[in-house]
Chain A
Amino acid sequence: MKLTLKIWRQDSANSKGKMQTYPIDGIEGDMSFLEMLDVLNEGLINKGETPVEFDHDCREGICGSCSLQINGEPHGPDRMVTTCQLHMRSFKDGDTITIEPFRAKAFPVIKDLIVDRSAFDRIQQSGGYVSVNTSGNTLDANAIPINKQDADSAFAAAACIGCGACVAACKNASAMLFTSAKVSQYALLPQGQVEATERVENMVRQMDLEGFGNCTNTGACEIECPKGISLENIARLNREFLSANIKG
């Protein structure tokens, strides 16, 4: 197929960016979206132009590196997939595709389509862990039985890949879905109970410090999330936060 790509180009964090148009031909449906960009870049390199930079690594939807706002949607038109799992069969010959970086104040652009998502790391550092030493001198793994439903719900929350689509999808650029997924994973497990109060307070504080917006329960994050992280997690975070404040 023949396509027209409109891609955000920006040299560095401090330079001004702009959309640039690239016609491209010979794209097959079996190519992934990133393989289509590989083809574009190979062509640009051979023409002596600078290739388009984008984050990517595992290319199987689990590392969370790839981002991209495709036709206005994080990870493009398909549901429950990351950009690397999006295939060109989702587009038609002659389509125009706009490709931009994830947009949020807390995710500044580094170059072209690459943004800085280290704010997510700092939220996790502020409390996204259980304070247990790695000595191996813990209880036997089966000493505390955990209800299967709770274990499964904790897993579902822990499946977040930290890509940032929730922030990019949100009109307020809120990181509530991301933060609540981590808070929920621990809130649902006995191991997380001891530090529950501090955890939710610290993580929410850090989230606010990073400049993410507030949650207004629109739910765009849940729709765009490639891993199906549920809005229930946000409700759980709110409960945890409220109860932490009461315990204060």
Chain B
Amino acid sequence: MSVLDSKVPKGPLDQKWTAHKNKINLVNPANKRKIDVIVVGTGLAGGAAAASLAELGYNVKTFCYQDSPRRAHSIAAQGGINASKNYQGDGDSNYRLFYDTVKGGDYRSREANVYRLAEVSGNIIDQCVAQGVPFAREYGGQLDNRSFGGVLVSRTFYAKGQTGQQLLLGAYSAMNRQINRGKITPYNRHEMLDLVLVDGKARGIIARDLVTGAIERHSAHAVVLASGGYGNVFFLSTNAMGSNVMAAWRAHRRGAYFANPCFTQIHPTCIPVSGDHQSKLTLMSESLRNDGRIWVPAKKEDADAIRNGKLKPTQIAEEDRDYFLERRYPAFGNLVPRDVASRAAKERCDAGFGVNKTGEAVYLDFDAAIMRYGKEKALISGQKDASDTEVRVLGEEIIAAKYGNLFQMYEKIVDENPYKTPMMIYPAVHYTMGGLWVDYNLQTTIPGCFAAGEANFSDHGANRLGASALMQGLADGYFVLPSTIGDYLADDIATGTIPTDSPEFEAAEKEVTDRMAKMKAGKGLHSVDYYHKKLGKIMWNKCGMSRNEKELKEAIEEIAALRADFWENVKIPGDINTKNQELEKAGRVADFLELGELFAKDALTRNESCGGHFREEYQTPEGEALRDDENFKFVSAWEYKGAPKDAVLHKEELVYENIEVKTRSYK
């Protein structure tokens, strides 16, 4: 019997959540005023949770490292948010959204959590519209939808290529309402450095004021971690520069199990790396695959000529192009899920068909869409015999209206006009499905410590479908946590304010200050970035899009050695007690150097290929992922025992009662 209790309620799938809400404990409004909650991270999950909890009457403190909650990295999400509204009448339903999500995650997510997600998805859209989020609309005034990968319906709501921004500003506005009422106290430019446990329960955090350098103690009756994912363990990713694993990792060190760290999403459509100076990678939204076709030259000599600058992509005839996604996956074509698309692009580039200088890029071509839209527009505006040039102009206008900001971003970075020549794209680290293990109530293995959004592991299995991250963040924050946290806090109505002068706070603060002093005492040989880049190279080369036993073992050794080197030799200029960005980075990289090793260990343990985790030893003759449901249909939850090599594996067996587990096929 596993020590992990998922606490999934009994009963039929579609009634679990309602039945659960009817049974769990409530806290009366007068008592909520006596209860404090800390929320770390102010993205969609954290911002929504903070606003909702404050609105219920709890006293909320929010923490974010940015100068304003509005800048959390949810802001950068581009394409959209899924909801099973079935506004298009194309047969969508809660069950279909649930089914697509479980299948998309390659049967490695928890059924009940995913169904709940689908069940509340429609409400999210209602909520956001009521807040004044300006979603895209049709001419009749109704909300518009687009399609995303891995599904056969149009269920994605969007606001141009800035959906995350608009949803986050919605959550931020809900937070502002509560800040104005005095129910949320925001601590911006603050970073959580440790979790404080009193009598085995999460009772507060140690935070650093990033402006003054002061170490602060903050107590609460519960702590919500909504601190995002850990993609920056790869150094280069689409995450923000500051995105980090510190809050989740500190909780892990205090007893929260870390689940499925090796489940990482490599997004197929990002702007390729241009050189060693590169600090981050930029995503080109999956929504572009609605209209863009992905290809490489069918002939190797053409690919060579393109790489040498002797040929332009527009000069390659239609029959000499290999639309490899359409070829391999005729049913889903360019809209296969991200893991499948990424691996297919890598396969072509590894085989020598890549199209940029480094050979690591494929084309994303809008020419066909421009002409198709242009023709339609010409017809409805009465130009029955428009020339190709006229059609092209009209088509470009339509593409600009749909994806203008993305095209502008591309042009700024690459210095090429994507309306005239196909975009070059390559996969990049984007999202982490793994995270803190949580039960159905989103509680970690530490009582009173909850995890929401990308920081937890629960809903996306081994691969997340496009436009589902925003849905999960807001579902957790607006609708799940506000209910489930009350069940836990019902026992705390008579506790009173948690004092911060206890030995537990004392000890946690000392550990934090000792750690910083130790870091600062390094010999000063190399900068923090030096180590971060080295770690990123190991991760990308040996724990990236495809993995094998030999290289994972090497990665484990290399990361452990790099970590030892870091603690001995890192160079941190400036003082501890002032604003010091290098010190901030050092603390984050120190945690990545531990997480990276656990990541590799997790990947080594999972002897199968599923979703974003592709082990070269386990594939079909056609190169598709080969899952092993008999031996690996479980969640890996790692318990901290000191060094990552000593971490202990606990398994949560996954039970599928409402969906047939079968080989995922998009052919």
Q: Which residues from chain A sit less than 8 Å from chain B, CB to CB?
A: 11-12, 28-32, 34-35, 38-39, 42, 44-46, 48-51, 53, 55-65, 78, 80-81, 85, 87, 89, 110-111, 114, 116-118, 120-121, 124-134, 136, 138-142, 144-148, 151-152, 154-155, 158-159, 161-162, 185-186, 189, 191-192
B173-A35 in contact (CB<8A):
no
The contact of A32 among B52, B160, B177, B279, by CB within 8 Å, is B279
| Interface secondary structure of A, over-half rule | loop
B68-A117 in contact (CB<8A):
yes
Q: How far is the CA of A142 from the CA of B141 in the complex (A)?
A: 8
B71-A57 in contact (CB<8A):
yes
B68-A162 in contact (CB<8A):
yes
- CB of B274 closer than 8 Å to a CB of A: yes
Query: Which of chain A's residues has its CB closest to B243's CB?
Result: A57
Q: Which residues from chain B sit less than 8 Å from chain A, CB to CB?
A: 48, 51-52, 55, 66-71, 73, 75-76, 85, 87, 120, 122-132, 134-143, 159-160, 162, 165-166, 169, 172-174, 176-177, 179-180, 186, 188, 211, 238, 240-242, 274-275, 277-280, 282-283, 408-409, 412-413, 415, 478-479, 482, 524, 527, 529, 571, 573-574, 578-579, 581-582
- Chain A residues positioned under 8 Å from B278 (CB to CB): 35
A124-B277 in contact (CB<8A):
no
B130-A191 in contact (CB<8A):
yes
Q: How far is the CA of A18 from the CA of B280 in the complex (A)?
A: 31
- Chain A residues positioned under 8 Å from B71 (CB to CB): 57-58, 63-65, 162
A146-B141 in contact (CB<8A):
yes
- Chain B residues positioned under 8 Å from A152 (CB to CB): 134, 137
CB distance from B586 to the nearest CB of A (A): 11
Q: How far is the CA of A135 from the CA of B582 in the complex (A)?
A: 41
Query: Which of chain A's residues has its CB closest to B48's CB?
Result: A134
The contact of B412 among A28, A87, A132, A162, by CB within 8 Å, is A87
Once A129-B174, A151-B135 are accepted as A-B contacts, the answer to whether A62 and B165 lie under 8 Å apart by CB is yes
Q: How far is the CA of A161 from the CA of B72 in the complex (A)?
A: 12
A35-B279 in contact (CB<8A):
yes
Max chain B Cβ within 10 angstroms of own Cβ: one of A46, A55, A141, A146: A141
A110-B579 in contact (CB<8A):
yes
- Chain A residues positioned under 8 Å from B128 (CB to CB): 141
Q: How far is the CA of A161 from the CA of B169 in the complex (A)?
A: 10
A118-B67 in contact (CB<8A):
yes
Once A110-B579, A125-B176, A139-B130 are accepted as A-B contacts, the answer to whether A155 and B70 lie under 8 Å apart by CB is no
Once A31-B277, A38-B277, A158-B166 are accepted as A-B contacts, the answer to whether A65 and B127 lie under 8 Å apart by CB is no
The contact of B282 among A38, A60, A144, A158, by CB within 8 Å, is A60
- Chain A residues positioned under 8 Å from B177 (CB to CB): 129, 131
B138-A60 in contact (CB<8A):
no
Once A35-B279, A62-B165, A134-B55 are accepted as A-B contacts, the answer to whether A87 and B68 lie under 8 Å apart by CB is no
CB distance from A70 to the nearest CB of B (A): 15
The contact of A118 among B51, B68, B578, by CB within 8 Å, is B68
Q: How far is the CA of A60 from the CA of B136 in the complex (A)?
A: 22
A129-B280 in contact (CB<8A):
no
- Chain A residues positioned under 8 Å from B578 (CB to CB): 11-12, 111
Known: A60-B282, A138-B126, A159-B162. 19 other contacts (CB 8 A): A31-B277, A32-B279, A45-B573, A55-B67, A59-B240, A59-B279, A63-B73, A63-B76, A65-B71, A85-B412, A110-B211, A111-B579, A124-B173, A127-B180, A139-B129, A146-B141, A152-B134, A155-B136, A192-B132
**What 7 pairs across the A-B complex have the smallest Cβ distances?**
A145-B141, A129-B173, A136-B123, A138-B130, A155-B134, A141-B129, A154-B134
Q: How far is the CA of A34 from the CA of B242 in the complex (A)?
A: 14
Once A136-B479, A146-B141 are accepted as A-B contacts, the answer to whether A151 and B76 lie under 8 Å apart by CB is no
Query: Which of chain A's residues has its CB closest to B412's CB?
Result: A85
Max chain B Cβ within 10 angstroms of own Cβ: one of A114, A132, A152: A132
Max chain A Cβ within 10 angstroms of own Cβ: one of B166, B174, B176: B176
Max chain B Cβ within 10 angstroms of own Cβ: one of A60, A128, A191: A60
A-B contact pairs, 6 of them (CB 8 A): A64-B70, A85-B409, A129-B173, A132-B127, A141-B126, A151-B134
Query: Which of chain A's residues has its CB closest to B401's CB?
Result: A152
Q: How far is the CA of A39 from the CA of B279 in the complex (A)?
A: 10
Q: How far is the CA of A78 from the CA of B409 in the complex (A)?
A: 13
